Amino acid sequence: MSIDATAVIRQESDRLAAALAAADPSRRVPTCPDWTAADLLWHLTEVHEFWAGVLAARITTADEAMALEEAAAPRPEDPAAVPGRRADATASLLAALEAREDDEPAWFWSSAEQTVGITRRMQMHEATLHRVDAELTADLPVTPVEAEVAAAGLDHVLDVMWPAAFEWIPDWATTRPVAAIEIRPRGGAHRLLGISRWSGTRPRDGREFDVPVGRLLRSPAEARALPRAAVSGSALALDLWAWGRSPALDHLAGGAERVEIEGDAEAVAQLEALLAVGHN
């Protein structure tokens, strides 16, 4: 990737902090309604502290990561202490990233890739999307995501975020394919997303589950006989859409950025269900 991800993290984190400094701390985040502006600032703080710790301590196992999380300092009772702690956390993360190479081993929550590189990419998108959240919360103009970063953000959802959910499907569940969605970024390669649902009854408490999951299909033949739909737009529009930030599109380019969805109604419904699962 030719993007300087570390520089993006620095820039977007500073933009987020500046936007939230202009917002009422109790204001709800439109794209993450369970959070206030103060919660959003704290979220970025604890995320940066955690991943800085993972990288600095060269953590490579889930047990080590859990121990690090359990040892984390609590959220300050005084909200005025958070901005400074956020700045320190971001500086620590940047220093840890600058000290490591992408191909070095490092624990990550998805087993598909366990490297410094995937943490670097994930934190680039985390800072970028939460900066969008912050600007929306503060009623500020939404700064466009750079085209290359947006394209990488869409790829990250397709290659990492949605497929990772398959790792958490329990042994007692059954999985069935339900839809195929063609993702059509303008000027980029089209990709075919398969949506499945896993369902079943959890043995320990009898709770019923029916959950959508998605991952790229290896061959068009896998989509045969499935309801189909297509999603089109610029890399920027599709990036924000895939990460659940569609409301930001109304604040970009005079509302000219749009995602177009067409196709079988059942496929569209399954896609909407997948998006509703979210990944803050």
Confidence (pLDDT) at 55: 98
Query: Who has greater pLDDT, 252 or 60?
Result: 60
Same domain, yes or no: 213 and 176: yes
pLDDT digit string, tens, across residues 7-31 = 999 999 999 999 999 999 999 999 9
Question: How far apart are the C-alpha atoms of 179 and 235, rounded to whole Å?
Answer: 22
Would residue 149 count as lying in a domain? no
In the listed set 92, 119, 143, which residue is the last one of a domain according to the structure?
143
Q: Determine the 3-state secondary structure of 28 from DSSP.
A: strand
Q: What count of Cα atoms within 13 Å lies in the side-chain half-sphere of residue 205?
A: 3
Query: Who has greater pLDDT, 248 or 278?
Result: 248
Same domain, yes or no: 100 and 171: no
Same domain, yes or no: 130 and 164: no
Confidence (pLDDT) at 221: 92
Same domain, yes or no: 48 and 95: yes
In the listed set 122, 143, 164, which residue is the last one of a domain according to the structure?
143
Nearest to 18 by CA among 131, 124, 144, 94: 131
Same domain, yes or no: 195 and 261: yes
Would residue 171 count as lying in a domain? yes
Nearest to 123 by CA among 85, 169, 92, 83: 92
Q: Classify residue 111 by its DSSP letter.
A: T
Burial call 54-78: b when 16+ CB within 10 Å, e when fewer: bbeeebeeeeebeebeeeeeeeeee
Would residue 120 count as lying in a domain? yes
Would residue 56 count as lying in a domain? yes
Q: Determine the 3-state secondary structure of 185 from DSSP.
A: strand
Q: How many domains does the chain have?
A: 2
User: What contacts 39, CB < 8 A, 6 or more positions away?
Assistant: 29
Taking the C-alpha atoms of 13, 183, 163 and 9 in order, what is their torsion angle to the nearest 10 degrees? -10
Q: Is-above-0.85 flag for pTM?
A: yes
Question: How far apart are the C-alpha atoms of 56 and 40, rounded to whole Å?
Answer: 24
CATH number for the domain spanning 129: value is 1.20.120.450
Lowest mean pLDDT among 66-80, 143-157, 251-265: 251-265
CA 174 to chain centre: 26
Q: Taking the CB of residue 13, how many other CB atoms lie within 10 A of it?
A: 27
Token pair of 78, please?
A: 């005084």
Q: What is the rounded average pLDDT for all residues in the chain?
A: 96
Token pair of 46, please?
A: 């604890």
pLDDT digit string, tens, across residues 215-256 = 999 998 999 999 999 999 999 999 999 999 999 999 886 777
Same domain, yes or no: 139 and 28: yes
Would residue 151 count as lying in a domain? no
Question: 256 lies in which domain range?
Answer: 156-277
Token pair of 137, please?
A: 């919360």
Token pair of 226, please?
A: 């499935």
Same domain, yes or no: 22 and 64: yes
